[in-house]
Amino acid sequence: MANTILVGAQWGDEGKGKIIDVLTEEADIVVRTQGGNNAGHTVFIAGQKYVLHLVPSGILRPGKTCVIGNGVVVDPVGLVAEIDGLQKLGVKVDGNLFLSETAHLVLPYHRELDAQREALKGKNKIGTTKRGIGPAYGDKAARTGLRVIDLVNAERFEELLRQRLRENNEVLKAFGAKPLSFKKVHADYRAAGDRLRPFVTNTVVLLHEATRRGDDILFEGAQGTFLDIDHGTYPFVTSSNTTAGGACTGSGVPPHRMDRVVGVMKAYTTRVGEGPLPTENAEIADLLHGLGREFGATTGRPRRCGWFDAVATRHATMVNGIDAFAVTNLDGLDTLETIKVCVAYRHGRDKFDYVPSDAATLAECKPVYAEFPGWRTPTTGAQRWKDLPVKARQYLKAICELSGAPLRVASVGPGREQTIML
Ligand code: GDP
Ligand code: IMO
Ligand code: MG
């Protein structure tokens, strides 16, 4: 299995949670390295649905170690609720979940500022998940953030919270919003801090010792390549590095310890929130929403849908160094007569075979499509490669070839067992 970085090759929600769950069978440790509870990773096991936001999706495999790394922004109250929810479903969390002491905290003023800034942007809003992610990473970069290590030190937390709340309440007042009560925030966070204390450790040392022992580590990316703060469709992005490099900085495991990068992509494209999506298409959105699919796992918002965009996924291969692909949601295309795949963008007289840097230019790009015949057969029961219709196999091979790396996993349903390994 070796040390594997798993990244989303599109705009998030590629099915990373499901693929992580499958690959965890071969891993010893699963690590989240960026993002926060803006992520929603769905796993179905024996008909039971689990949605993970901060806890790595590997937690559903008994005996595996799960780590929330230093690069993650942690809402402690949200994390406690998530842990409680998992325990209620019979998932063991104590003793196998570890939380980095240097991960930054998401505080209530981050969430409030996220909402206020979005409202102020009006039609130019990003469409964030309103989980306070941008303001929390903003504080981290401005060196005004609070960290897990501060939360578990009662005296220091109280002092720092008092300071930060004073400033942030002034900002909230300027927005015309209600200031936050120190007493309430302090009580909620102290309770969460007490509850989380047993999970907190130096995860850099933990992971370093694990690599020395020869443990296999799976790095669970959140969001997707085009939501990356540097490589995405800025400003319609999240505030962390969602691409492969983020796995190193967000965990403290150095680049030369990484063995391979797996890209996860849907057999079509989705995006939730604002920003350009060149292959967006009403027909495919109606089809998928009509099937009750493609609603956000975190916010419940309907996801925008489009044809597979091979320009984007090829770009993702370049930025992440993707060695192999896992393609999910093949079954979403089962009923179509003809399937389109974007192979280039046209912009006036220019033609792009990579994703242009300027979101405004990308929004003006017109996809150049290749057409593939649909297989018009249900694929959800396929167990092996040869169970898939020939046209479905041809489609999968073609989109991976266009994306620049071989196919290793094909997923034909949300369940663990609906997975074909090549
Ligand atoms: P993530 O954020 O990348 O983990 O993806 P999400 O969980 O937000 O969204 C992916 C959705 O697709 C979830 O509802 C999954 O249960 C579902 N899913 C994943 N793979 C497949 C598949 O092959 N077929 C179907 N029908 N659903 C899938
Ligand atoms: P997973 O890990 C899809 C999107 C939001 C918004 C933008 C910024 O489940 O793939 P943020 O709250 O991060 O400031 O929002 O990023 N976004 C996601 N879209 N999947 C996600 O995570 C996302 N996390 C954030 O919709 O457009
Ligand atoms: Mg998701």
Instruction: Quick: pLDDT tens for 145-203.
Output: 999 999 999 999 999 999 999 999 999 999 999 999 999 999 999 999 999 999 999 99
The single-letter code of the amino acid at 174 is A
CB atoms under 10 Å from CB of 91, counted, come to 17
The pLDDT value recorded for residue 299 is 87
The residue contributing the CA closest to ligand 2 atom 15 is: 128
pLDDT in tens, 130-139: 999 999 999 9
Residue in the block written with tokens 């926060």: 36
For the residues of 358-407, what is the DSSP string, one character each?
-HHHHHH-EEEEEEEE---S--TT--SGGGS-HHHHHHHHHHHHHHTS-E
CA dihedral 404, 407, 413, 418 (to 10 degrees): -170
What percentage of the chain carries pLDDT values higher than 90? Answer: 99
Q: What is the pLDDT of residue 58?
A: 96
Domains of the chain, start order: 4-101+200-261 (3.40.440.10), 104-196 (1.10.300.10), 265-421 (3.90.170.10)
- For residues 233 and 276, is the Cβ–Cβ distance under 8 A? yes
Give the chain's mean pLDDT.
Answer: 97
**Upper half-sphere CA count for residue 396 (Cβ side, 13 Å):** 31
Q: Is 41 a catalytic residue?
A: yes
Helix (H) or strand (E) holding 283: helix 282-290
Q: Name residue 373's beta-bridge partners.
A: 338
Contacts of 172 (CB under 8 A, 6+ apart): 109, 112, 113, 116, 178, 179, 180
Substitution candidate for ligand 1 out of 7, 38, 42 with most atoms within 8 A of CB: 42
Instruction: Say how many Å lie between the CA of residue 124 and the centre of ligand 2.
Output: 16
What is the position in ligand 2's atom list of the atom closest to the CA of 272? 26
Token pair for 137: 């990473």
Q: Is the pLDDT of residue 297 over 90?
A: no
Q: Quote the ligand 2 centre to 172 CA distance (angstroms).
A: 24
Verify whether residue 259 is a known catalytic residue: no
Pairing assessment for the beta strands 65-68 and 29-32 based on DSSP bridges: parallel
Catalytic site residue from 41, 104, 110, 315: 41
